[in-house]
């Protein structure tokens, strides 16, 4: 067995305290200490420090703020990458009328997926499709870039919650092995969540992981979790509902490569029409 092909993923499905970043960091730390197994990646839900709040001006952080520093410490402690999304504020960069450098414009707020390696190296992805149904687009700025994170011989595509409904964002371009979705997806729409995770795996012949929260938020919206790991053929390897869970799962890149070679459907895509 080639250990370079194997990656261990730890799903952290929990019920966050509403708008209490420090308490949530402490809670996650206790959950990890209680149930932790050796792993390569720890995945936290969308907006894991606050819940899905639009109070961006009160609960924003920066890329040098307490949560990112906490992620660096956790990553170093467990020798594992850690990822999830939080509210990040940045100043808009404006062109300086043809001169070198930029002027600083107004503040922008992002629902940002942050990935931290044990070395301290960071990667980030800003949510591209904002959930206008609850006015997320009125408070957050839209991301405009797709990123691929290379880690432990794997190529990983990070996406956030509502992105799941738009397959063009995850369309395979020969560039990844695993999709990670972090979410605050309500229980009343859990059926689409579960079916779309399967669909994204099948259409891209990729492993897919969705990590969701559980419990009621401050708007009395209930979340059943349903965090899942899906195989490239669409089979559900693992799923958990209704309860806080820390679960470590193992996947093998060799199985992915074998499956794609056996069923080379992806080569038939007409990319010029996409």
15: three-class secondary structure by DSSP: coil
Q: HSE of 45 in the Cβ direction (CA atoms, 13 Å)?
A: 33
In order, the DSSP letters of 239-274 are EEESS-EEEEEEEEHHHHHHHHHHS-GGGG--GGG-
Active site residue 161: yes
Would residue 83 show up in a list of annotated catalytic residues for this protein? no
Asked if residues 71 and 114 have their Cβ atoms less than 8 Å apart, the reply is: yes
Residue 200 belongs to what H/E stretch? helix 190-204
First to last CA, the chain: 38
**Most distant CA pair in the chain, distance:** 58
d(CA 53, CA 152): 33
Residue 114: DSSP 8-state: E
Query: Residues 161, 187, 194, 253: which is the catalytic one?
Result: 161
Give the integer Cα–Cα distance in Å for 79 and 206.
26
Choice among 46, 61, 136, 187 that is catalytic: 46
Strand 236-241 to 149-151 pairing: unpaired
244 assigned to active site: no
Q: Which of 27, 72, 83, 127 is the catalytic position?
A: 127
Hey, is 42 helix, strand or coil? Answer: strand
Residues that are catalytic: 46, 127, 161
């Amino acid at each position: 067995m080639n250990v370079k092909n194997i990656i261990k993923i730890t799903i952290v499905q929990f019920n966050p305290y509403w708008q209490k970043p420090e308490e949530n960091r402490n809670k996650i730390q206790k959950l990890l200490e209680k149930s932790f197994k050796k792993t390569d990646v720890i995945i936290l839900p969308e907006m894991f420090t606050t819940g899905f709040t639009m109070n961006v001006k009160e609960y924003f952080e920066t890329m040098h703020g307490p949560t990112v520093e906490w992620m660096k410490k956790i990553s170093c402690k467990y020798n594992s990458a850690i990822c999830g999304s939080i509210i990040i504020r940045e100043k808009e960069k404006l062109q300086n009328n043809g001169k070198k450098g930029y002027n600083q414009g107004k503040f922008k707020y992002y629902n940002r997926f942050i990935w931290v390696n044990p070395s301290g190296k960071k990667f980030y992805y800003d949510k591209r499709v904002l959930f206008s149904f609850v006015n997320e687009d009125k408070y957050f700025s839209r991301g405009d870039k797709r990123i691929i994170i290379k880690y432990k011989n794997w190529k990983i595509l990070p996406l956030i919650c509502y992105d799941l409904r738009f397959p063009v964002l995850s369309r395979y371009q020969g560039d990844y092995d695993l999709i990670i979705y972090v979410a605050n997806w309500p229980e009343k729409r859990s059926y689409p969540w579960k079916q779309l995770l399967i669909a994204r795996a099948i259409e891209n012949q990729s492993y897919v992981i969705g990590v969701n929260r559980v419990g009621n938020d401050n708007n009395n919206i209930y979340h059943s979790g349903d965090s899942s790991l899906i195989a490239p053929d669409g089979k559900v390897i693992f799923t958990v509902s209704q309860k806080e869970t820390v679960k470590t799962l193992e996947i093998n890149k060799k199985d992915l490569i074998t499956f794609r070679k056996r069923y080379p459907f992806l080569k038939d895509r007409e990319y010029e029409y996409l």
